[in-house]
Amino acid sequence: MYNQTTGYLSRMIKFDNNRERRVRMYNPICSTVRQDAEKVKICVYDYNKDYVKQHELKDVREAFTFKENGNISWINIDGIRKADIEAIGEHFGIHPLIQEDILSIGQRPKMDEGDDIMYCLLNMLYFNEDTITVEQEQISIVLGKNFVITFQEDADRDVFNGIREKLNIPKSKLRSASADYLAYSMIDTIVDFYFVVMDKLSDKLEAVEEEIIRAASTRSLAQINSLRRELIVLRRNVLPVRDMVSGIIRSDSPLLDERVMRYFKDVSDHITQAADMVENYRDMIMSMQDLYLNKANIRLNEVMKVMAIVTCLMAPATVIGGIFGMNFDRIPYIHNRYGFFIAVALMLLVPVYMIYLFKKRGWFKRM
């Protein structure tokens, strides 16, 4: 059994090595140079409780006029370019270290406070149904006095459509609230979407568990290993966000209104629940791996049991044949005219009697 299990695990180590390296072997010390995005989309929502207007900008410098125009401005930049980050960072007072975090790749979710801004970095998560992988997109949120700037890597997808719809509703709370409420809404939306990803991952876990119970195979072990890697990605993103939200709640920044703090506490409850679910999924995967190994042991034990019974049934014939096959002159019944038939009868009757004893003791019930 040891060799069989070792063979399965050795094959699993070779399974999708590129994905394994991406999940496990990221080294934040060895910074990776981000390539400038080929496609950049800049969209601004400028609003107050009585007014909202959407602007599509061609250059990031066009957003400078929205810093202090008396309204709340949400500047969303899809696609990251170093020159754009430096230009908008200089105008809106974003510290160079925060600019470096925005340009970085694979950063741990965190929050930071500057002189007049608050910075939050976290990842949007998507579940790819085709590859059964958890994909992540780094999101940077910069909160100022009357503005929120978001930086996204992917220009083709995000989870903020619900916020955009609420901004177009005249009497929505989002329209009448301050910029910190907009930042809360973004973080809350990202956290809520974690549950969508976890639900899809849970469905895959249940399907694999049913397959293991029904008919476990090396494919089942491959699926367990694949889901375990995706759970590492999920855990690496969910747990730090809990610390990030706790940091926001403990913050004394004048950018955060006391009334909005209650909403961040609700986000804290959600991300704590998400973290608990991730730990539960981790326990499920460990249990499934144990279940697979137990079923493999049971199958091996059944095979060994059959082989042991066959060996026991063949033993009498081997002994009798060996005795009468010895090269001696004087052996009982060696010259008897019925000696051969007596030996064959013993070779048959003794195993039949052994089968009767085995059956009486219940050895065949679980085969």
Q: What is the pLDDT of residues 153-180, one digit of tens each?
A: 887 788 898 999 999 888 889 988 999 9
Lowest mean pLDDT among 175-189, 240-254, 294-308: 294-308
**pLDDT, mean of residues 287-313:** 82
113 pLDDT higher than 70? yes
Residue type, 79: G
Q: What is the pLDDT of residues 10-30, one digit of tens each?
A: 444 444 556 555 555 555 555
What integer pLDDT is reported at residue 37 of this predicted model? 81
Rounded-to-integer distance, Cα 262 and Cα 268, Å: 10
pTM: 0.76
The yes or no reply on domain 2-295 and CATH 3.30.460.20 is yes
Beta pairing, strands 133-143 & 147-152:
antiparallel
How many Å separate Cα 175 from the centre of its chain?
Answer: 35
366 pLDDT higher than 80? no
Residue type, 324: F
Q: Where in the chain is the domain with CATH 1.20.58.340?
A: 300-360
Lowest mean pLDDT among 10-14, 241-245, 305-309, 362-366: 10-14
Lowest mean pLDDT among 2-16, 59-73, 145-159, 291-305: 2-16
The string over 41-58, giving b where at least 16 C-beta atoms fall within 10 Å of a residue's C-beta and e elsewhere, is ebbbbbbeeeebeeeebe
Q: What is the pLDDT of residues 255-289, one digit of tens each?
A: 998 889 999 999 999 999 999 999 998 888 888 88
What is the DSSP code string of 127-184?
EETTTTEEEEEEEEEEE-SSEEEEEES-SS--S-HHHHHHHTSTT-HHHHS-HHHHHH
What is the DSSP code string of 72-128?
EEEEEEES--HHHHHHHHHHHT--HHHHHHHH-SSPPPEEEE-SS-EEEEEEEEEEE
What is the radius of gyration, based on Cα positions, of the chain?
Answer: 34
298 pLDDT higher than 70? yes
Q: Is the dihedral of CA 152, 158, 161, 166 positive or negative?
A: negative
Rounded-to-integer distance, Cα 99 and Cα 82, Å: 9
324 pLDDT higher than 80? no
What integer pLDDT is reported at residue 105 of this predicted model? 86
The pLDDT confidence band at residue 322, using thresholds 50, 70 and 90, is confident
Lowest mean pLDDT among 106-120, 143-157, 336-350: 336-350
**pLDDT, mean of residues 304-332:** 80
What integer pLDDT is reported at residue 20 of this predicted model? 59
SS3 label, residue 275: helix
On average, the pLDDT of the chain sits at 84
What integer pLDDT is reported at residue 6 of this predicted model? 43
Rounded-to-integer distance, Cα 122 and Cα 126, Å: 13
Residue type, 165: E
- Write down the CATH superfamily of domain 300-360: Magnesium transport protein CorA, transmembrane region (1.20.58.340)
For residues 43 and 76, the answer to whether their CB atoms sit within 8 Å is yes
What integer pLDDT is reported at residue 181 of this predicted model? 94
For residues 226 and 15, the answer to whether their CB atoms sit within 8 Å is yes
Non-local (6+) Cβ contacts of 8 within 8 A are: 218, 221
What are the tokens at 310?
């066959």
The pLDDT confidence band at residue 365, using thresholds 50, 70 and 90, is low
Lowest mean pLDDT among 20-29, 191-200, 249-258, 318-327: 20-29
Beta bridge partners, 180, equal none
What integer pLDDT is reported at residue 12 of this predicted model? 42
Q: Where in the chain is the domain with CATH 3.30.460.20?
A: 2-295
187 pLDDT higher than 90? yes
